[in-house]
Chain A
Amino acid sequence: MRQNQMLGMILAGGRGTRLEELTTKVAKPAVFFGGKYRIIDFPLSNCANSGVNVVGVLTQYESVLLNSYVAQDQRWGLDAKDSGIYVLPPREKSDGFGMYRGTADAITQNIDFIDQYSPEYVLILSGDHIYKMDYSQMLAEHKAKKADATIAVLEVSLKEASRFGIMNVDNEDRIYEFEEKPKQPKSNLASMGIYIFSWKLLRRALLDDLKEKDSAHDFGKNIIPGMLESGKRLFAWRFKGYWKDVGTIDSLWESNMDLLDESNTLDIMDPSWKIYTEDVAAPPQFIQEHASVKRSIINQGCVIDGTIINSVLFTNVVVEEGAVVKDAVIMPNSIIRKGAIVQRCIVAEDIEIRENAVVGDAHSELIELVAKNR
C-alpha cells in the first residue's frame, strides 16, 4: 500500500500575543496544556493516529524550542523509514530572506518539500488548537464527494458565529460562500482551519496567488474565496467533539479546567486515541502525609504535601505542607512553598511562590498569569 497518500502540513508560526509572557520565548504551539502536553501534541498525535505519517511543521515566531521539540519525531511514533516530522522555518533564498507572509505563503514556499513526496492530498492544520480528530475519516469523505477541498467545520451558536470564519453551505454541505467574521451570520458552521486539498489543485492555486500583488497569501482570505469563485467543489465536513483555540490566558485556563469535568468530550484518558508527548525521566508522583487532593489532574514527578483542589499540575511541581492550590494551573517545575495560597490563576513554568504568599484572586473576572517569582 502506498504509505503517504496524504501529507500533513501544520501551520505553527503564530506568536499568540494574547498569551502574554507564556509566549515571549516560545511560539503558541509549544505552550503547555493539560498537565503533560504542549498544544502541538494534539495535531501531531492526531496525524500519527490517523495514519498521516509525514508531517511538515511550519514555524516562524520564536521557533528554537518548537523546532527542537517536534524534530524528536519518535515521540509521536513517526520515526519509521517512511515517516517523519520535518521542521520548516523560513529560510534565506537566492532572492532574499523569505519570511512567511501568510498561511498560504508558508505552504507556497515549501512546494519543493511537498513535491518530494508527490502526495495526492495535502492536509493543512493549525498548530494551536486542542481537539482530537481522525483525519482519515475526513479524507474518506473528501474522496467520496470527489471534492477539490474539504474544510472541517464546527457547529457553533449563531451568537458566537460572528467571531469565526463561517461557511455557508447547500443541503449537501457544499460550500457556496465563505464569510470572515460576519456581522449577520447565515450559518453556524465555523471553519476550524483544517483543510484537505487535492495537491495538484492547491499547488496551482498557490502559484496563482503568488502572482497577486495585493493578496494577503492567506487560506481564509484568498485561497478559499478564490476556489469558490472559480466554481471548485468545496465541502464542509462536520466535526463533533471538543475543539478549542486557546488564544488567551482565560481560554487556556478554561480549557485546562474543562479536563477536570468527568464528562468532557476531549477525554485524554481514552487509550484508543492517545496523545503523545515528550517522554520525561521523572519518577512517579508522591502524594505525602499532609496532602489532600480533590478533583485534580496531576502529572509524574510532582511532590505534593499541601492541598490541591480543582487544579491541573504539570511535571515536577512541588506543593509544600500547608500550601493551598485551588482552581489553578501550575506549569512544570514550579514550587509552591509552605503556607502559600494560589488560586484562580496560571503559574508559568519554573516559578517559585514563596512561603505564605497569596497569589491570584478567587473572585477576579480575568485569570491572572503568574510569570515571575512571588
Chain B
Amino acid sequence: MNQVLGIINFEDATVDVTGLVNYRPIPSLTFMGRYRLIDFVMSNFTNSGISNVQVYVKNKPRSVYEHVGTGRHYNINSKQGKLRIMHGEEPIQSEIYNTDINAFHSNIQFIEEAKAKYVIIAPSYMIYTIDFSTVLASHKVNKADITIVYKPTDMAKESFIGCTSLSLDKEKRVIASEINLGKNKSRNISLEAYVMSRELFLELIGLAHKTSSVYWLKDIIRDNYDRFVVKGFMVRGLVYPINNLGEYQRANLELTNYANAKQLFDPMWPIMTRTSDSPPTHYGEDAVVVGSSISNGCKIEGTVINSVIGRGVVIKPGAVVINSILLPGVIVGEDSHLEYVIVDKNSKVLEVKELKGEFRQPIYVKRRDRI
C-alpha cells in the first residue's frame, strides 16, 4: 500500500456534536472512554498498510497534534512513513470558506509532491472498520475513476441524517445522490470515503476551486457522476456516524454490549490510540456494575448500569449512573443519580443529586464544570 496516500478529511456543517465540539474538533472527540474518533480511521489506514497520511484539521488543532503526535502509536514508521497534520494556510474570511477543497488547495504542493499513485480520503466521524486494501483492489478491478464506500441501512429515518444517500445502478455505479433527510427507511449511505488516483484528485480540487469557492469534495464528485465512473463499495459491518449528540450517545451506549463491540474490536484489526499509562480499574466492596464499558484508571464504588465510563473516572459510594457517558476524569459524588447524561472531561457532579435526560436527547454537562 506504498502506492496510497491516506487523507483524513474534515467534515462539513452537517456534523455538529453540540456541546462536545466547543472544546475540541470532531477528530479529537473522546469515544468509548479511551479512544478519540480519529483513532478509528487512523487504525484503518495503518492496519491496511497505509503509512503515509495527511490529517486535515478544520479548527482547534491543538488536541489533534497532541493526540496524533508522530503517529508512532498507530504504527507509522518514523523513517519510511509520514504523518502530517495540515490546516488551511490562508486566512479564512468566513466559516463558509472553511471547506476541504480550500484546505487541499492551500496545501496542494504536499499532494503534488506525494509519490503515491492513489489517494484514499476518509473522514474521522464515521466509526467502523474497513480494510482499504480490499477497496483499492475492487477499485482497480472495476476500472473505476472514483470508488465511494457506502453502507446500506434500514435506519435512515433515525440515523445518518444529513449524510449523503447514494443511488446505485445494478453495476453499483453511482448515478445520483441526495442528502438523507430521514424520509425513507432504507438508504445507501455514503461514508465519505473515496478511492481515486492522485492525478484525478488533483484535477477535482482544481475543478471545484474554479466552480465555486465554497465547494466541498463531495459537491464536485456529485456534479460529475456522468463524466466519471463512480462505483460504490459496500461495507457490511457496524457503522456509526458521529454527526450529532444523539448519534454520539447511541453509538457509545450500543457498544456497551460486547456482542456489538466485538464486531468493532477485532484483535486482528486493533484500534490503536495514545496510551495514558492509567493503572487498571479498581472496583470497591459495594460496586454494582452491569452492561457497561469501563476504561482503565477508574475507581468505582457506586452503581453503573449500561454506561460508558472514561479513563480515570471516580464514582463515589451511593452514586448511580445509568445509560450515561462519562468522559475521562469525571467525578460523580455520593448519592448523585445520573440517567441519560453525558458528562464532559474532568467535570464534577457533586451537589446535583438528580439529572435525567432521554435517549437521543441526553443532558450534556460541560467540560471542567462543577455542578
Contact = CB atoms under 8 A, between A and B. Distances in A.
Contacts of B280: 34-36, 297-300, 312-313
Interface residues of B, number: 38
Query: Which of B273, B290, B293 has its CB near the most chain A CB atoms (within 10 A)?
Result: B290
Interface in A200-218: none
Interface in B310-343: 312
Contacts of A268: 279
Nearest to A268: B279
A284 interface: yes
Contact of A284 (B283, B290, B294, B299): B294
Interface string B219-253: 00000000000000000000000000000000000
Contacts of A284: 32-34, 293-296
Contacts of B15: none
B113 interface: no
Interface string A186-212: 000000000000000000000000000
Contact of A285 (B272, B281, B285, B312): B281
A285 B270 contact: no
A144 B312 CA distance: 39
B180 interface: no
A291 B319 CA distance: 19
A289 interface: yes
Contacts of B296: 36, 284-285, 299-300
A74 B275 CA distance: 11
B291 A288 contact: yes
A295 interface: yes
Contacts of A74: 72
A283 interface: yes
A36 B279 CA distance: 7
A227 to B, nearest CB: 38
Nearest to A333: B267
Contact of B283 (A269, A286, A289, A298): A298
Given A279-B275, A283-B265, A287-B289, A295 B33 contact: no
B360 interface: no
Query: Which of A275, A294, A308 has its CB near the most chain B CB atoms (within 10 A)?
Result: A294
Contacts of B282: 269, 296-297
Given A36-B279, A284-B294, A293 B32 contact: no
Given A74-B72, A293-B287, A286 B256 contact: yes
B283 A297 contact: yes
Given A34-B280, A36-B280, A293 B289 contact: yes
A237 interface: no
Could you tell me the dominant secondary structure of chain B's interface residues? loop
Contact of B277 (A274, A283, A303, A313): A274
Contacts of A282: 270
A174 B142 CA distance: 82
A285 B293 contact: yes
Interface in A263-284: 268-269, 271, 274-277, 279, 281-284
Contacts of B312: 271
A281 B275 CA distance: 9
B292 interface: yes
B72 A289 contact: no
A310 B165 CA distance: 52
A283 B273 CA distance: 10
Nearest to B291: A289
Given A269-B299, A283-B261, A300-B295, A294 B283 contact: yes
B281 A283 contact: no
B62 interface: no
Contacts of A312: 280
Contacts of B290: 287-292
Contacts of B285: 294-295
Given A74-B72, A283-B271, A288-B258, A275 B279 contact: yes
Given A276-B277, A286-B256, A291 B270 contact: no
A281 B270 contact: yes
Nearest to B311: A284
A46 B323 CA distance: 40
Given A281-B271, A298-B280, 6 more contacts: A283-B265, A285-B296, A286-B258, A288-B291, A290-B290, A296-B282
